[in-house]
Chain A
Amino acid sequence: MSDFLGAGPPRTKLPGEAARAAAAPSHPDRQRRGSPVPSGASLRGLDWFVFFLADVQTGFGAFVSVYLTTQKWTQTDIGLVLSVGAFVGLVGQIPGGAIVDAARSVRWVAAAAVAAVGISAFALALSPIFPVVFASRILQAGASCVLGPAIAAISLGLVGQRFISIRLGRNASFASVGSGLAAAGMGAFAYYISDRAAFILVASMSAPALFALFHIQAMEIDPTRAHGGVAKPGHKNPINGLLRLFTIRPLLIFAGCVALFQLANAAMLPLAASMMTLRSARFATIMVATSIVAPQLIVAVLSPWVGRKAELWGRRPLLVLCFAALAIRGLLFASLVDPYLLMGAQLLDGVSGAALAVLVPLIVADVSGNTGHFNLAQGAVGCAVGIGASISTTLAGYVSDRFDSQTAFLMMAGFGLVGLAAMALTMPETRPPPGED
């Protein structure tokens, strides 16, 4: 670990930054604001923080229900704790963002949230009894509401608006490698040892996540940048902040677009995986595993590219790419029968995933700049994502029961196309003009 984090020659520039530095020899942005230049240790700390955190968070996916089943939980109880967790994860988004905005030290807030996630993961692994699991789900869901904005805030606080797209590409890359490896590792542990061992594996990743977090130098995180500027005196209050954010039209349009994206996207993988289980005898499990892990690797490769192109081309072309890949995936799922081809179509998830992982925090940073409510805005968009995702699974489940899976996939592809049209017609380009910050 220390090889990755502390040792080695100090690096002050990101790969993309070097090219920019050559183009603009001095950093006028930083000199003007007097913000500290992030050190190599901080930037690598952020890399690995994002990586290990994604490891831990992967454990709280659909696997929780399998694990609780093996611990002799009834389906009713499992449904209850999962719904409560999902509910907290939804309504906690906006308060979570407000907490990060109000925090004097984003790093300490993030540290507390990581500790909470780690504790809830260990509690789930070691003592799967109802009150513990119930509390663990609430704690983890609440902490996640803080962690999403906190990562973006730390990134923005470290590198500033000017380099944020590159940094977000790098974050998405590390996060997806982390969650892909965690899924593979959990699968292996669950198969060879036990489901509980799989949980202990990912829970223990919260320790290196905390370790990496404290490699980020607190003084290098500019609090003004991390909060997206300074709120006007009357707008400090989160309620007033929200009202202010609701007047930013591009933010509302964008929140609507990502809600539509999730409405189309969230149920696609589970339904496609269920089709693989139905249609392939011997390799179904391997195929489902590949469908989960392979798109993560594509995200890892593509997202730095997305980060660079977001600066060169602007945000809109990449949003078009994201929605187009989603709609094509839906249409392919609806028309393909062969499980291997289904698995191939699922790779498109990596394209949409890479684009969205970079663009969501990036566009929110674009449009909420100078409001002092960057994280509140992220919470609001996160809430829209959550609403879209929860309707998606319910609706797709209903349609595939009532009609068939083809109809459900066509419906989701339709939502993707509606999202594409809505985005193309109404969403403005949000890239700040060059030279401005």
Chain B
Amino acid sequence: MPTFGAFARRILCGRRRSRQEAAVLVAVALFAAQQPVIAATRSSEAEPWHLAQAAPSPQTEVTPPSQQAAAASSPQNDDKSKEEKTSVPATVVDGEQLESVLGIEALSSTGDNMGHIDDIIVDRSGEVRAAIIDFGGFLGVGSRKIAVDWRSLHFDPKKAGAVVVNLTKDQLRVAPVYKAAEPVVMIGGPSAKP
């Protein structure tokens, strides 16, 4: 069944990226470049994210050492002359290496589907703190919105459209429901163990 499911999903859903999504992708790209912690975790887990084209910009200067290496080793960009005409700095990353997080499936560490990512919350400094996961329920009835610490989320490069949460269903279901403008309980974190 899973293979059939995956096949049919590919046919029925496809991958249509609108301009808005592209904007989100760019935003995620910029964010990832400024997030040494996550970038480091990712690059230690899997192959480093290749920066296919890197225009000279302040972005590349603040990247962590692992990414600097990747940027330095990346081939010289072919359209350098074109890019120099524009004054706005830009970073271009291969679309396959990035992903929009809104609406993707949240999987438990054992691979169970726990729900979808509804929202991302940031603190006043703009740092991403938690993902809101719409947990459980059936056809939208009985689901609970749970804030999960961003550091508990792991993005497996082999699993597009899904994120692995370093927590179990039992830990998620008993968490307090997330409500905007109220004290937020973010479960998980760097020390959490499933």
A205 to chain B, nearest CB (A): 16
Q: Secondary structure at chain A's binding surface: helix, strand, loop or mixed? A: helix
Contact across chains for A274 and B179 when beta carbons are under 8 A apart: no
In this assembly, does A63 line the interface, its C-beta being within 8 Å of a C-beta of chain B?
yes
Which B-chain residue is minimally distant from A275 (CB atoms)? B142
B-contacting 9-mer, from A44-52, A159-167, A277-285: A277-285
Interface centre among B5, B12, B144, B170 (most CB of A within 10 A): B12
Question: Given B8, B119, B137, B174, which contacts A197 in the complex, CB threshold below 8 Å?
Answer: B8
Contact across chains for A194 and B13 when beta carbons are under 8 A apart: yes
In this assembly, does A401 line the interface, its C-beta being within 8 Å of a C-beta of chain B?
yes
Which chain A residues lie closer than 8 Å to B88 at the CB level? none
CB-contacts of A47-77 with B (<8 A): 61-66, 69-75
Contact across chains for A273 and B138 when beta carbons are under 8 A apart: yes
Which chain B residues lie closer than 8 Å to A281 at the CB level? 169-170, 173
Size of the chain A interface, CB-CB below 8 angstroms: 43
Which chain B residues lie closer than 8 Å to A187 at the CB level? 138-139
Q: Secondary structure at chain B's binding surface: helix, strand, loop or mixed? A: mixed
A396 to chain B, nearest CB (A): 14
Contact across chains for A196 and B13 when beta carbons are under 8 A apart: yes
A151 to chain B, nearest CB (A): 24
**A196 to B16 alpha-carbon distance, docked (Å):** 13
Contact across chains for A69 and B118 when beta carbons are under 8 A apart: yes
Contact across chains for A72 and B143 when beta carbons are under 8 A apart: no
Size of the chain B interface, CB-CB below 8 angstroms: 33
Contact across chains for B136 and A284 when beta carbons are under 8 A apart: yes
Which chain B residues lie closer than 8 Å to A69 at the CB level? 102-103, 116, 118, 134
Contact across chains for A278 and B138 when beta carbons are under 8 A apart: no
Contact across chains for B141 and A74 when beta carbons are under 8 A apart: no
Known A69-B103, A192-B5, A193-B5; judge A284-B173 contact (CB<8 A): yes
Question: Given A190, A193, A278, A284, which contacts B139 in the complex, CB threshold below 8 Å?
Answer: A190
Interface centre among A269, A274, A277, A289 (most CB of B within 10 A): A277
In this assembly, does A292 line the interface, its C-beta being within 8 Å of a C-beta of chain B?
yes
Chain B residues within CB distance 8 Å of chain A: 1, 4-5, 8-9, 12-13, 18, 21, 24, 100, 102-103, 116, 118-119, 134-144, 169-170, 173-174, 177, 179
Show 28 residue pairs from A and B whose CB-CB distance is below 8 angstroms, ordered by the A residue: A62-B141, A65-B140, A66-B137, A66-B139, A72-B100, A72-B103, A74-B119, A129-B18, A187-B138, A187-B139, A192-B8, A193-B5, A193-B12, A194-B8, A200-B12, A269-B141, A274-B143, A274-B177, A276-B142, A277-B135, A277-B143, A282-B169, A284-B136, A285-B136, A288-B142, A289-B138, A292-B138, A292-B139
Closest 5 CB pairs of A and B: A273-B142, A62-B140, A277-B136, A288-B138, A288-B142
